Structure 1
Amino acid sequence: MKNLLIFSLCLSGFVRSFGQVAPQTEGMITYERRQYWTKVYEKLTFLTKDEKERQKSTWGNDDEWKVKMKLVFNANESVYTYLNETGESDDGTYNYRLDDFKLYRNFAQERKIDQIEMLGKTYVIEDSIQTPNWKILNEIKEVAGYVCMKATTEDKIKQQKITAWFSQDLALPFGPENYHGLPGVILELNIDNGTVIIEATKVELKDNTKPSTPAPELEAFAKIDLKKTKKMKGKRINNKDYDQLLSTHMKDSIKAQRNPYWSIRY
């Protein structure tokens, strides 16, 4: 307990001063995001046991939906979005349109700008960064070649348990989806006991202190101005508006016995 308290104090100090840790670092992390629809239905409290079993039978072994994501970052900013502009079917026979989804973070200014398509409309959420309330645990595992520590939190609106695995070897507070603020980049995210798993498959770094040896894979990203993501189209709202939209949608959907996750991100 004493060690955990000391580590927690170190964490709070790190979040305030992270910009001094790796001011020259740029990089891109590729993630695979996997969502399992039978597990989504298993979480719906209004369904009976028989109805949940029918959903499992209907989906069979085809309940997994996966897509590639990317996190592009420098010392102070990050952008999290889809790796490609369109999605591709598992057999590669067709492409499909992906929803609007870009998450921009500026930790130096403590500001965020998100473009999220949900509930049949595209919204731009511009407000201050809200850091989850993390509990860091004494467990480690390897993800994408990096030793990672475990941390947990909770999404109270969606009533989801969140487990993150972060690496202190990548000493920046970034992460996928709306999760960040740990003393290292989050390389794996587990939402609601495996209903959604977001796992890093490739980590590409560039150290600007060594311009003579750039990472070739990052050359296409080296000239990206992350601030351009501020030019987003959509209805502008703030954090409070966004939380209210989600909360109302969740309550209305459950009351009407509808799956809320057909129109919002799990």
Structure 2
Amino acid sequence: MKKVLILALLLISTVSFAQTISGKAYYQSKTTVDTDQFGGGEMSEEMKKQIMERMKSFLEKTYILTFSGSESIYKEQEKLEAGSGFGGMGAMMGSFSAGAQYKNLKTNQILEEREFFGKKFLINDTITNLEWEVGKESKQIGQYLAIKATAVKKIDPNDFEMARPRGRRGERGRNRDAEEDSEKVADTTQTESEDPFDQIEIPKQVIVTAWFTPQIPVANGPGEYAGLPGLILELNVERTTILCSKITLNTKETESIEAPNKGEEVTRAEYNKIIKEKMEEMREQFRGRGGRGGGRGRFGGF
């Protein structure tokens, strides 16, 4: 209870002082992949390397968080074609295209541009308020002292953007012997059907680890994340790490931030439902072809 009270007081002072701060934070995002999952462990190292190179465009990205007072917008700096030549899984990964993410900490609103199979959506929802637990651990990130905070984030069962390869559940090696036995059977099935949906799962919850700096009293961070008494400089979610590489501050003039307004407006729950229905339709089409020819673009649009 004492920790919650201290965090609340810090947030109040942070929000008040943040009204005079604006600037930009540059982030590098990198997602790691367990290459041992490719081909049931029988794929050559050269083939794994080729696959990782093809996946690089959606595993490594650069973003800019522009913040001013209680408002911010988070955009990808450079966009490349993702999933090229990576079969059904690549087609699925490449079909999700994230646009600008706008947050208003004062009204607790988040607006996110999304494109799915050529159709544009505008998700209008509230910011997910995680129950952060601030610890005593700290480290230096660049010239800033960063403090560690963790939270548990519950995942919508229809949130396919949080899908991960099936078979590895968090800690490496957990139940590995049992998994290896089951994989021998699963590999045969996947070879015959090559159904990409059999290769993924959606976790019920994930651990979020953030490193924030009180030296920049802005209760903001990359993407949807916020709510700490200082700018988030590093974020770890599952196999994805987002690290701030550069910060420019301006305490004299505020920068104008425009909220995105393109696309069909939906709530996050409505968007996830649309994705689920489309995924089910794609799977039925895939099964109807006997699991063959799952190349990108054959699933059809809206």
The 8 Å contact of residues 120 and 264 in structure 2, kept in 1 or not, is answered as yes
* Residue 225 (str. 1) matches residue 256 (str. 2): yes
**TM-score, normalised with respect to structure 2:** 0.62
Q: Does 1:187 align with 2:216?
A: no
Post-superposition CA distance 1:111-132 (Å, at most 9, x none): 2211122465322111222212
Structure 2 residue runs without a partner (length 5+): 83-95, 156-161, 163-202, 297-302
Q: CA deviation at 1:56?
A: 6.8
SS at match of 2:47: helix
Aligned to 2:43: 54
**Pairing partner for 1:177 from 217, 223, 240:** 223
Root-mean-square deviation over aligned CA pairs? 3.6
Which residue of 1 is the match for residue 177 of structure 2?
none
Residues 27/58 of structure 1: CA separation in 2 closer, same or farther (3 Å cut): same
- 1:67–1:87 contact (8 Å) kept in structure 2: no
Which stretches of structure 1, 4 residues or more, deviate above 6 A after TM superposition?
246-258
Higher RCO structure (Cα 8 Å, ≥6 apart): 2
Deviations 1:61-114 (A, max 9, x none): 646432210000012111011124x4499xxxxxxxx94411111112222211
Which is richer in strand? 1
SS at match of 2:3: helix
Paired residue for 2:3, among 7, 13, 37?
7
Distance 1:88 1:120 in 2: 14
Map of 1:199 onto structure 2: 243
Among candidates 148, 151, 154, match of residue 149 of structure 2: 151
Report SS of the residue matched to 1:174.
Answer: coil
1:6-155 to 2 correspondences below 5 Å = 6-16=2-12, 18-36=14-32, 38-39=33-34, 51=40, 54=43, 58-60=47-49, 62=53, 64=56, 65-84=59-78, 86-87=79-80, 99-118=97-116, 120-155=118-153
Q: State the Cα distance separating 1:18 from its structure 2 match.
A: 3.5
Tell me which amino acid in the other structure corresponds to 2:5: L
Note the residue ranges of structure 1 that are not aligned, 5 or more in a row.
Answer: 90-97, 212-221
Q: How many angstroms apart in 1 are the aligned matches of 2:219 and 2:207?
A: 20
Deviation at 1:16, TM superposition (A): 4.7
Opposite residue 106 of structure 1, the aligned amino acid is: N
Q: Report the 3-state secondary structure (helix = DSSP H, G, I; strand = E; otherwise coil) of the residue aligned with 1:80.
A: strand
Q: As a proportion of its length, which structure holds more helix?
A: 2
CA distance, structure 2, for counterparts of residue 54 and residue 254 of structure 1:
26
The letter of the residue matching 2:15 is: G
Name the count of aligned residue pairs. Answer: 222
Q: Is contact 1:144–1:203 with CA below 8 Å preserved after alignment?
A: no
Cα distance in 1 between the residues matched to 2:73 and 2:14: 17
What does residue 166 of structure 1 align with?
212
Give secondary structure in 2 for the equivalent of 1:9. Answer: helix
Superposed CA deviations along residues 154-181 of structure 1, whole A, max 9, x for unmatched, are 3332433321111111111111122111
The 8 Å contact of residues 144 and 187 in structure 1, kept in 2 or not, is answered as: no
Among all aligned residue pairs of Structure 1 and Structure 2, give the percentage whose two residues are the same amino acid.
24
Q: Equivalent residue of 2:226, what SS?
A: coil
Matched-pair contact (CA < 8 Å) for 2:219–2:228 = yes
Q: Is the 8 A contact 2:68 2:256 kept in 1?
A: no
Answer whether contact 1:117 1:123 (CA < 8 A) is retained. Answer: yes
With structure 1 as the length reference, what TM-score do the two structures score?
Answer: 0.69
- Structure with max Cα Rg: 2
